[in-house]
């Protein structure tokens, strides 16, 4: 009976996960999230069994004739059901779940990815062992089958880094580095989300997570390490004339970014504005001219002085940065 009910629960969990496989703790693509789902199912089965037992006891108590349980027997029931059995169950659950809480070990040979939460986007720096860091933003790619160590911090207020299908949440605290070591197993495109209220656009602070086979990942990272080529495109001239490089870096063209997201390979990202809009020319142009319309509370100033055509030219230039 118990085996049957847990099988039913696993099927139900997978059916529910089918509703959203991009951002779901029930559809893990990493080993840590799979552990969390396993613990969840164990605890859910336990909770259902206990709740069922309590319901049966209640039914029995209501139907029993008055006076059938004396004071002594009643106290014994309270002692066992209210004290001893819950203590045993909780201790057993603790002993069972403790090994899952042990952080996954990382070695210096593993890829490190530094991610800082900002209002309201993600600053990303890949640090492959023995090579210079590669700056990026708002999208995270990881290889499957390899250990990856995230070094998480906050640039302004406290954020929380959460990729439900990969691992549990981890706070991003200014002035402190928290480590989260993960391992993805299934390639695919997934989604992460800020999980700590951090201001007006907290709910609009998401990102794409792309898990790739190791060889494809290595090729992609080598591509990301390449600087952009300086260009005389009208969009590039607008980028310089409007002072965009004061906040945004484009390797090979400007100094690295200290304030806003790095744009060196902007056009290779699938989404815009931290996972909020599809990467289309119209969306990029609209975001540059009026970022606050997409993201209330955004730090980036608006550029209403740009004409429609100038917005499109700038967007085309940035999308060309692959």
Residue 273 near ligand CUA by CB under 6 A: no
Nearer to ligand CUA, 122 or 239 (CB): 122
Q: Which of 182, 186, 148, 189 is nearest to 167 (CA)?
A: 182
Pick the stretch among 54-62, 84-92, 123-131, 192-200 that binds ligand CUA (CB under 6 A).
Answer: 192-200
Using only C-alpha atoms, what is the Rg of the chain? 26
Of the residues 198, 209, 210, 312, which one makes contact with ligand CUA according to CB under 6 A: 198
Question: Does residue 210 bind ligand CUA (CB under 6 A)?
Answer: no
Other C-beta atoms closer than 10 Å to the C-beta of 275 total 23
Least distance from ligand CUA to the Cβ atom of residue 120, Å = 6
Site for ligand CUA in 117-146 (CB under 6 A): 117, 120
Contact 104, 181 (CB under 8 A): yes
From the list 50, 300, 31, 306, the residue with the least C-alpha distance to 180 is 31
CA–CA gap between residue 167 and residue 163 (Å, rounded): 6
Question: What residues numbered 147-176 form the site for ligand CUA, per CB under 6 A?
Answer: 159
Phi-psi region of 297 (alpha: psi -120 to 50; beta: other; left: phi over 0): left
Tell me whether residue 147 or residue 201 sits nearer to ligand CUA (CB atom).
201
Listed in sequence order, the residues at least 6 apart from 2 whose beta carbon sits closer than 8 Å to its beta carbon are 45, 49
Which one of the spans 40-48, 52-60, 196-204, 306-314 is the region binding ligand CUA (CB under 6 A)? 196-204
Q: How far is the CB of 163 from ligand CUA (least distance, A)?
A: 14
Between 274 and 284, name the residue whose CB sits nearer to ligand CUA. 274
φ and ψ of 291, to 5 deg: -60, -30
The binding track of 80-119 with respect to ligand CUA, each residue x by CB under 6 A or -, is -------------------------------------x--
Tell me the window of 36-44, 162-170, 191-199, 234-242 that interacts with ligand CUA (CB under 6 A).
191-199
Strands 206-212 and 139-143: what pairing? parallel
Cα–Cα distance for residue pair 124/173, rounded to 1 Å: 15
Q: Which of 191, 202, 248, 269 binds ligand CUA (CB under 6 A)?
A: 202
Work out whether 194 is an interface residue with ligand CUA (CB under 6 A). yes
| Alpha-carbon span 149 to 103, nearest angstrom | 11
Residues that bind ligand CUA (CB under 6 A): 117, 120, 159, 194, 196-198, 202, 205
């Amino acid at each position: 009976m118990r085996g049957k009910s847990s099988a039913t629960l696993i099927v139900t969990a997978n059916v529910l996960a089918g509703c959203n496989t991009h951002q779901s703790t029930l559809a893990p693509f990493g080993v840590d999230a799979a552990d969390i789902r396993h613990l969840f199912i164990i605890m859910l089965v336990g909770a259902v069994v206990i709740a069922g037992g309590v319901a049966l006891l209640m039914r029995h108590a209501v139907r029993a004739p008055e006076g059938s349980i004396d004071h002594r027997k009643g106290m014994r029931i309270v002692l066992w059901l209210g004290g001893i059995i819950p203590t045993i169950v909780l201790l057993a659950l603790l002993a069972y779940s403790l090994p899952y809480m042990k952080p996954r070990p990382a070695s210096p040979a593993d890829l490190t990815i530094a991610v800082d939460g900002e209002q309201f986007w993600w600053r990303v720096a890949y640090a492959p062992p023995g090579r210079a860091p590669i700056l990026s933003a708002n999208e995270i790619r990881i290889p499957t089958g390899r250990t990856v160590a995230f070094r998480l911090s906050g640039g302004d207020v406290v954020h929380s880094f959460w990729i439900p299908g990969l691992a549990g949440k981890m706070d991003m605290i200014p002035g402190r580095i928290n480590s989260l070591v993960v391992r993805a197993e299934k390639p695919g495109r997934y989604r992460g989300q800020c999980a700590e209220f951090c201001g007006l656009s907290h709910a609009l602070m998401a990102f794409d997570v792309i898990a790739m086979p190791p060889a494809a990942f290595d090729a992609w990272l080598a591509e990301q390490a390449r600087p952009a080529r300086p260009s005389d495109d009208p969009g590039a001239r607008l980028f310089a004339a409007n002072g965009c490089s004061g906040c945004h870096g484009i390797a090979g063209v400007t100094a690295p970014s200290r304030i806003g997201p790095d744009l060196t390979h902007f056009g290779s990202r699938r989404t815009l504005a931290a996972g909020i809009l599809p990467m289309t020319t119209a969306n990029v142009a609209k975001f540059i001219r009026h970022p606050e319309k997409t993201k209330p509370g955004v730090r980036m100033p608006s550029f209403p002085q740009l004409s429609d055509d100038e917005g499109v030219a700038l967007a085309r230039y940035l999308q060309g940065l692959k």
